[in-house]
Structure 1
Amino acid sequence: MNLSKNFTLSELTVTQTELPNVPDERQIANLKRLCETILEPLRETIGCPIRINSGFRSPAVNRKIKGSVTSQHMNGEAADICVPEMKALDIVKIIARLNVPFHQLINEGTTSGATWVHVSVAPIGIKPKKEILNAFGIPGRMKYQRMAIG
């Protein structure tokens, strides 16, 4: 099932956990909104594919990977993305400068050097915060610091 021109439901629901990860209609609608309003404009701007590391997460998947209990991934409102040829911080800067309704942008990474961007849309009826953060620390005990993009 296509969520938008370049993104499919299967790529936004893939998991390495072997647990069921099937979104309901509301969650699919949120994933579609995320793809259409943020991921597609980003892809058009950069002109190359975006890798989805994590999109929708069922509560069981979210628990297994030790995700936040309030994770927007469980509502289909968030994705962790990367573009192999780009630094995560550069992706954050591009999204921040696009006129798109992001709720949160988080420059994330691990001590092993892997980096990605967490991007989310606001829940329906909520004004997007347009919050930009830098995450640091160790998984499960990350700290977040606000970032200004000049």
Structure 2
Amino acid sequence: MFEQSNTDFAVTPNFHYSELIHSYTAVRLGLDNTPDAATKQHLIDSCKNLWQPMRKLLDKPISVNCGYRSPAVNKAVGGAKNSAHLYGYAIDFVCPSFGTPKQVAQFLATQLPKQGIKFDQIIMEFGAWVHIAWKAPDGRQRGQILTAKKVGGKTQYVAGVQ
């Protein structure tokens, strides 16, 4: 079994490094989910520039379901080949004390731009969680707001939070 945290520390007041790299899939399958130095820095930058400001706006605790994914973990979960999770730019989370994933996504889609907080994507995924990415793998911040749904066994993305 691989160690899932190389020295835990508080990245921001509400996020610890260990929660950004933890993966139940990695633990279950014995996969290494340790990011390289550049990806670790992306996680820290994403946290400071987007996830902590987002958490402050929500003013409620969030639970990170998924943060960084190594290539092996990403493959095991069926993630996109160029997922922002691979680069330390994305987390999937829920905030039940704030509301449903749809309510959280709608709030963030409205409030982040109002506050001048840049992001790449907010995706309400399958009605179950919110995916939020600070940057795309190429460094862009597209400001995309999407909903992911399964249609005929395939994931389809539609504009907006639906």
Contact 2:62 2:95 in 1 (8 A): yes
Identical aligned residues as a percent = 31
State the match for 1:106 in structure 2.
Answer: 123
The structure with the largest helix share of the pair is 2
State the match for 2:66 in structure 1.
Answer: 54
Structure 1 segment 99-138 matched on structure 2, within 5 A: 99-109=116-126, 115-123=128-136, 126-137=139-150
- Deviations 1:12-39, CA, capped at 9 Å, x for gaps: 1111122110011111111112211221
TM superposition shift of 1:122: 1.5
- Deviations 1:83-136, CA, capped at 9 Å, x for gaps: 022111221122222221110110012xxxx61001001258844100000111
Contact 2:146 2:159 in 1 (8 A): yes
Contact 1:42 1:94 in 2 (8 A): no
Superposition TM-score, scaled by structure 2 size: 0.81
Cα 1:136–1:60, aligned 2, differ >3 Å: closer, same or farther? same
Q: CA RMSD in A?
A: 2.2
Cα 1:88–1:104, aligned 2, differ >3 Å: closer, same or farther? same
Question: Where in structure 1 are there 5+ consecutive unaligned residues?
Answer: none
Structure 1 segment 1-150 matched on structure 2, within 5 A: 1-17=9-25, 18=27, 19-85=31-97, 86-96=99-109, 97-98=111-112, 99-109=116-126, 115-123=128-136, 126-137=139-150, 141-147=154-160
Contact 1:66 1:140 in 2 (8 A): no
Question: Where in structure 2 are there 5+ consecutive unaligned residues?
Answer: 1-8
